[in-house]
Chain A
Amino acid sequence: MKKATIRFLKQKNNWILNLKLKMMKANYKTGILTIILVFNTIAALPQDFPEWPVPNNEAAVENPVEATKESVAAGKALFNTQCKACHGETGKGDGLIKSASLVSEIFTAQTDGAIYWKLVTGRGQMPPFAAQPEEQLWNVINYIRLLSMNPEDMVMKNAIISIIFDEDSEKKEVTAKVEEFTEDGTKAPVSNVKVNFGVKRYFGVLPISSTSTFTDAAGEVSVSFPDDIIGNETGELVVIAALEDMEYNPVEASAEISWGLDNPNDYWTERRALWKDNDYVPIWLLFSFIGGALAVWGTIGYVALLVFKIKRIGDKVS
């Protein structure tokens, strides 16, 4: 732990950070930490957050959206952008900010309506999401329900996914095919599973599909490829198709295709500029600077010559 950071935390005089500091110091004494953990689990409240009562009429509202794969997929997409940061990827409340667990017994004991009311009302660090469309909020609730079902107990199946490019049709299409191996070793199509299509970028994957890309009976699903995505200098880019389903282990395929726009790669120019280095000095400046220096120092040199001549005459005369 840096001296500067410790001093900084002390300076801040913030009770949260002081607590963190104490916790970090306590790391060296893992025995104490274990005891603290044990006490926590034994202690009365499994959640550190004060109770949040919901009005009865709100809690009684029923979830109008069926928990289909589409709904859960849409809910997951929204969860990942709005909720994952604080509540963590698995909803345990272990994200970048300590938050309530969405998978604890106390939380899941609530009705969907109660959760919906909390979503639109917000409290403290939890913002109100009233601006989101209602259907989306119910989708998120469906996804949260899914999270609390222990995925570790499920046995995941394996599938394979492949990418097919359709270059013949007018519109460019990308098709993904999902198959799994049956007991007798043959491949069978997997239907009604979600495939996410994207283009590989430097830091992540740019999605090019919506939330409703589920495989059909033949295990295939297609999206039309947008015509405004930039590739490399020759327009090549990498398309990724990723299987995302509760029952299957995640698997993805990637393939290169030159359906992108050519990357102009024209950011760096060889133009001369005042902010660049000596190799790019503007010509007018180069000539003024060197010309001026040569003119002045040349004159000084000439004067030095005159002085030498004076000395020569002086030596001759004396």
Chain B
Amino acid sequence: MKKNKENKSETRRSFLKSSALLGAGAIAGSAVLSSCSTDAEPGGEKVKLLTASGELVEVDPSQIKKVRKEKMSELSERGREGLVGHHWTMVIDLSKCKNARKCMTACQGAHDLLPYQHHINVLQMQDSKSTAPYYMPKPCFHCDNPPCTKVCPVNATFKRKDGIVLIDNERCIGCRFCVAACPYSARMFQWFEPEYTEEEKNRLYDVELNVPQKKGTITKCLFSADRLRKGQLPYCVSACPNGVYWFGDKMEDSVTNGTSKETRKFSDLIKENAGYTYFEDLGTKPQVYYLPPKNRTFEYEPVDKIMKDDHAGEESSHTNAKH
């Protein structure tokens, strides 16, 4: 919860910061800009601006240059291109997962999801009767041979050059073929109008964040592409208190632990701990690796596998969303 708030206020603070910086930048560059400024004559009525340091200053309007706003098409273009030169990967240490579910709540908070919608789901697994049960966080595996992108009729879901599989909710037609195609149950559909705040409603759509969610389209784990662009670890990775998640770049062969911030070589981590992937024989080439639940220092305690709330889905979320 705390992490959510921090992330949210972080985003708002940085948004305010950047807009204030624009104002300050305009003032700073006035010498250059005045030659290409607006029609306003110098010496006219002054305009008040807020600088990044919180100072209120007055500026001559002739010295202000309007900065072009980002267009959604630009966000879409860079989102589809990706952070070229990287190949993102995640390693999940099953020997550390204690079912704290902080990853799930952090993700649901960041992406405005309802409690039964999971970009990352912590499952209680038992591979066979005599094998030991374990908790297993399951994000999208961002496969290198993704069955979901193969079947999408409109290129709404696509794999970009840094390995992340994204969804463009401005393009998606809601046919749900990708949901049927994914063997890992990683995708879900917005059956009702999702919840969002007024601010989110007016926000420019960024394919790397996918907020607000859109009714009638698909949603899934994005490896927090918006955070990666800023050099930050994904929401779930940062929220885990038990050291379960490692996230990094296969191209530079390093992963960083979300809890301890320790950085290790990816190949070493996998080799030392016998890392593996799920259902490799399906040929999907998943890019999320698991370390076996060995030497666990805690007891496995099963919890309810099905939510008790039967009316989720019919709830008033879809009527409340008319703000």
Contact = CB atoms under 8 A, between A and B. Distances in A.
Quick check: do A and B touch in the complex, using CB within 8 A? Answer: yes
Interface of A: 2-5, 7-8, 11, 20, 24, 80-82, 84-86, 95-97, 122, 127-129, 131, 198, 201-207, 229-230, 263-265, 267-268, 273-278
Given A3-B320, A203-B248, A275-B145, 9 more contacts: A11-B309, A81-B262, A96-B239, A96-B240, A127-B297, A131-B297, A230-B251, A267-B87, A267-B251
Interface stretch (B24-32, B155-163, B271-279): B155-163
A68 B198 CA distance: 58
B286 interface: no
Interface of A is mostly: loop
Contacts of A82: 260
A96 B257 CA distance: 14
17 contacts: A2-B112, A4-B113, A5-B108, A82-B260, A85-B243, A85-B260, A96-B239, A96-B241, A127-B298, A129-B297, A131-B297, A202-B252, A203-B233, A205-B263, A274-B150, A275-B147, A277-B155
Interface string B279-323: 000000000000000010110000000010100000001001000
B317 A201 contact: no
Given A86-B241, A275-B145, A201 B262 contact: no
A47 to B, nearest CB: 20
Given A3-B320, A204-B262, A8 B115 contact: yes
B295 A131 contact: yes
Contacts of A198: 263
B163 A267 contact: yes
A8 B263 contact: no
B102 A96 contact: yes
Interface of B: 1, 4, 84-87, 100, 102, 105, 108-109, 112-115, 145-147, 149-150, 155, 158-159, 161-163, 195, 197, 231-233, 239-243, 247-254, 256-257, 259-265, 295, 297-298, 307, 309, 317, 320
A3 B195 contact: yes
B256 A201 contact: yes
- The 8 lowest CB-CB distance pairs between A and B, nearest first, are A96-B241, A127-B297, A204-B263, A203-B256, A267-B87, A204-B256, A201-B254, A8-B115
Contacts of A204: 254, 256, 261-263
Contacts of B233: 203
B252 to A, nearest CB: 5
Contacts of B163: 267
Contacts of A8: 105, 108, 114-115
Contacts of A80: 260, 262
Given A96-B241, A230-B253, A206 B112 contact: no
Q: Which of B163, B250, B252 has the most CB of A within 10 A?
A: B252
B260 A84 contact: yes
A268 B109 contact: no
Contacts of A207: 263
A206 B265 contact: yes
Contacts of B243: 81, 85
A4 B195 contact: yes
Contacts of B250: 267
Contacts of B297: 122, 127-129, 131
Contacts of A86: 241
A203 B233 CA distance: 7
B241 A97 contact: yes
Nearest to A5: B109
A206 B249 CA distance: 12
A205 B150 CA distance: 37
Contacts of A230: 251-253
